[in-house]
Amino acid sequence: MFGSVAAKIKDAEKIVFVTGAGISQESGISTFRGKDGYWRRYDPMQLATIEAFYENPKLVWEWYEDRRRTILAARPNAGHTAIAELAKYKEVIVLTQNIDGLHQRAGSRNVYELHGSIIRIKCTACTFVENITSGFDVLPPKCVCGSILRPDVVWFGEPLPQHVWADAIMHAQSCDVMVIAGTSLLVSPANSLPFYAKQNGATLIEVNPERTVMSDEMDLSLRQTSAAILPQLVSLFK
């Protein structure tokens, strides 16, 4: 399956995974850009911008509450658990665009959430941040300071958390193998991470049922799902 790059994988000291919505699709969480994706059914400009939030915070919160219930009901799949298991053999870093927390629930420890987390909230005015697992009696919820709370996710037009992004670049630049799993590589700046790795001479492996805009840059492209392929990656070390 991994052919000519198998030796490089086995010899690697550090493996970085860049993951997107596709890896969680098999856990029942819709992707954003696929044929059944969220953005096919909703206007992102009405749900995922700070302007939309301030215009109608109740609508945005209702949508995110619905998404959060779906996510909390989901379970990590074989792709998530394979990444966690690989950490028994190699240094493994996960740079994820997902906000669902499934990597952590599968057992991965070194996870950098580029786009935030749907199970965290933060205040729009003060420094309050907290994880949540239950719903709110009133939407939009208010902070103790009296300001509106919002999901701790990155919306369109907002920058990534700079400390998280700086660490992501550092890990991309220092890995031996980068596995890009379940992402279309259309979203900037996360789609620049493979280039940081390639500049360091890392082996690039793409796991995606469909061709992506960066397929030609890959050392190996595997046209299957993460749940099908990643357990086979772990088997190289058993």
Q: Cα–Cα distance between 33 and 37 in angstroms, integer?
A: 5
Three-state secondary structure call for residue 129: strand
Instruction: Quote the pLDDT of residue 108.
Output: 98
Determine the length of the chain: 238
Q: What is the pLDDT of residues 42-83, one digit of tens each?
A: 676 678 899 999 999 998 998 899 889 989 999 999 999 999
For the four alpha carbons of 100, 102, 107 and 110, in that order, the dihedral sign comes to negative
Of 166, 230, 219, the residue nearest 4 (C-alpha): 219
For 234, list phi and psi in degrees, rounded to 5: -65, -35
Query: What's the pTM value of the predicted model, to 2 decimals?
Result: 0.93
Q: What is the pLDDT of residues 105-125, one digit of tens each?
A: 999 999 999 999 999 999 999
Q: Where in the chain is the domain with CATH 3.40.50.1220?
A: 1-29+76-115+160-238
Topology (CATH) of 1-29+76-115+160-238: Rossmann fold (3.40.50)
Report the binding-site residues.
Answer: 64, 67, 97-100, 123, 126, 143, 145, 182-184, 208-210, 226
For 181, list phi and psi in degrees, rounded to 5: -120, 120
**Model confidence band, residue 40 (pLDDT cutoffs 50, 70, 90):** low
Q: Which residues are the active-site residues?
A: 115
Q: Which residues pair with 205 in a beta bridge?
A: 179, 220
Q: Cα–Cα distance between 212 and 218 in angstroms, integer?
A: 10
Q: Cα–Cα distance between 93 and 56 in angstroms, integer?
A: 37
Q: What is the pLDDT of residues 87-105, one digit of tens each?
A: 999 999 999 999 999 999 9
Q: Where in the chain is the domain with CATH 3.30.1600.10?
A: 32-73+118-153
Q: Which pair of tokens denotes residue 237? A: 């070390």
Report the binding-site residues for Zn(2+).
Answer: 123, 126, 143, 145
Report the binding-site residues for substrate.
Answer: 64, 67
CATH architecture assigned to 32-73+118-153: 2-Layer Sandwich (3.30)
Instruction: Quote the pLDDT of residue 1.
Output: 83
How many angstroms separate the Cα of 32 from the Cα of each of 136, 157, 183? 25, 17, 10
